[in-house]
Amino acid sequence: MRLNVIYGFLFCLFVEGLFSCSKDKTTEPLPCQTNTLFETEIKPIFLNNCTNCHNSNINYAGVVLEDYESIVENIDHSMSEINAGTMPYDEDFTPAINSSLIDVLNDTLIDKIECWILNGMENN
């Protein structure tokens, strides 16, 4: 009987050791550890993806996304639309998520914008 208890105890230790061992993981740096630059990283995203409809000449829904002030003023709505895939629109005014002509913004671009927001939306 005593031998069974010892074997049971050793077996439990063995099983616990199996599941508690883990490979050391290196954590990747968070994308927001460096400050994203507005002029060279954020503004071009909006100019390349939004200003076909949201510029000073064609300000669809009264929204202009050409400069720092206008982008900051509309950032919450812009991000909700971008994350939902409903912006940008293609030339037929079909949301990107339903369009065969354009793609939704990729995660890398969205992450850049979100990091810029988290870092205080600096005009740098």
Domain definitions of the chain by residue range: 31-118
Percent of the chain predicted with pLDDT > 70: 74
Read off the pTM.
0.72
Distance spanning both ends of the chain, measured CA to CA = 75
Closest CA to 79 of 46, 37, 52, 103: 46
CA-to-CA distance for 6 and 98, rounded, in angstroms?
64
Residue 121 predicted with pLDDT over 60: yes
The tens digit of pLDDT for each residue in 15-73 reads: 565 555 444 455 554 557 777 899 999 999 999 999 989 999 999 899 999 999 999 99
Coil vs helix vs strand at 59: strand
For residue 5, give the H/E element and its range: helix 2-20
DSSP state of 42: I
